[in-house]
Amino acid sequence: MSRLRFRRLRGDGPAALLFLAPSAAGFAVFYAIPFAMGLAYSFTDQTIHGSFAGLRNYEALLASGSFRKAAANSLLFTGAGVPLLIAVSLLLALLLNRQIWLRNVLQTAFVLPLVVPVASVVMIWQIFFDWNGTLNAWMHALHGGRTDWLKSDWSMDVLILMYLWKNIGYDMILFLAGLQSIPKDYYETALIEGAGRLRRLFHITLVYLTPTMFFVLLISIVNSFKVFRETYLLAGDYPYDRIYMLQHYMNNMFVNLDIQKLTAAAVLMVGCMIVLAAGLLTAERRFRDFTDS
């Protein structure tokens, strides 16, 4: 059986090679080879004619205060933003999946921010969150204190808010599709057996939404890195400490020509992503075995 399968697997090899060639060639030149080079640089003491430096770059990196700050901020942003985004958009999808009016109009309105370029609404964010901005005017009217939202510990919350604003629509659409692909008779059977609302949510909806959840999770993580644009356009190269992200750190290392630290940081980041992705895929496989049996 396994030999037969093996032969079948090799069967499309030549055709696959042709189909993959354009993408794989460009991919190798612009991503794979650069990454391998980066990996090599991270172990040398200088980029050109460097000699092997062992783990010294990594030690220096981990000892650097600004790296630790940036890594902690990025971790906090993704760690808080992604689950929050998923929860809110799932809730929205569940609500939109009921019989309501204006369904299509609402859906369009929620997705619209996804296609609005960051640079074109940045000015509104600035006006809203500025020291003299609208939010402070409201706080003042309510006799609250004045805060410089983007230059205080609130800045992280502001960023998370922007991330939610932009990505809710995308995740919501994905969840809606997932919801609609769950067969209706599962719910009917559950109803006949007397399952309550929560039971149906946890034992049917969330279980059969799991494959969608993996996809949403991946996309949301990818999009959480793009928040760098908002931060950059709002606050430049060196924003307030709380929103100084890994990307800022890496960009600044690049500008300062500290290539070794930058590549070491890149390798560490890739390492984390591999662990995360591998964990996710294992979980997905387990889940599939579980639902198949």
Partner 1 sequence: MNKLPLLPRLALTAALALLALVMAVPVVLTFTNSLMTEREIGDNYDLLGQMTNAAAGHKDDFVNLKLIPDWLSFGQYDEVLVQTPKFLHMYWNSAGMVAPIIAGQTAAASLAAYALSKLRFRGRDKLFMVYLMTMLMPFQVTLVPNYMVIERLGLMNSEAAIVLPGIFGAFGVFMLRQFMTGIPYTYMEAAKIDGAGHLTIFTRVILPLVKPGIAALTVLLFADYWNMVEQPLIFLQDAAKQPLSIYLAQINQDARGVGFAASVLYMTPMVLLFLYAESYFIEGIQLSGIKG
Closer CB to partner 1, 20 or 55, in the complex: 20
**238 near partner 1, judged by CB under 8 A:** no
Q: Where are the alpha helices (DSSP H) in the chain?
A: 2-11, 13-27, 33-41, 56-63, 65-96, 103-115, 118-129, 134-141, 155-180, 184-192, 197-200, 206-208, 210-225, 227-235, 246-255, 259-292
Residues 203 to 222: which contact partner 1 by CB under 8 A?
Answer: 211-212, 214-216, 218, 221-222
* In the complex, minimum distance from the CB of residue 51 to partner 1, in angstroms, rounded to a whole number: 18
**274 near partner 1, judged by CB under 8 A:** yes
Segment near partner 1 (CB under 8 A); pick from 50-58, 59-67, 152-160, 176-184: 176-184
| In contact, 227 and 82? CB cutoff 8 Å | no
**273 near partner 1, judged by CB under 8 A:** yes
Give the SS3 label for residue 44. Answer: strand
**192 near partner 1, judged by CB under 8 A:** no
Query: Using CB under 8 A, which of 61, 159, 235, 250 touches partner 1?
Result: 250
Query: Using CB under 8 A, which of 110, 149, 154, 244 touches partner 1?
Result: 110
| In contact, 167 and 146? CB cutoff 8 Å | no
Residues 90 to 109: which contact partner 1 by CB under 8 A?
Answer: 92, 95-102, 105-109
Q: Which of 67, 108, 92, 74 is nearest to 250 (CA)?
A: 67
**201 near partner 1, judged by CB under 8 A:** no
**288 near partner 1, judged by CB under 8 A:** yes
- Classify burial at 183, counting beta carbons within 10 Å of its beta carbon; exposed 0-12, middle 13-18, buried 19 or more: exposed
Structure tokens at 150: 């983007």
Residues 118 to 137: which contact partner 1 by CB under 8 A?
Answer: 118-128, 130-134, 136-137
Give the SS3 label for residue 205. Answer: helix
Residues 42 to 61: which contact partner 1 by CB under 8 A?
Answer: 47
Segment near partner 1 (CB under 8 A); pick from 7-15, 50-58, 60-68, 79-87: 7-15
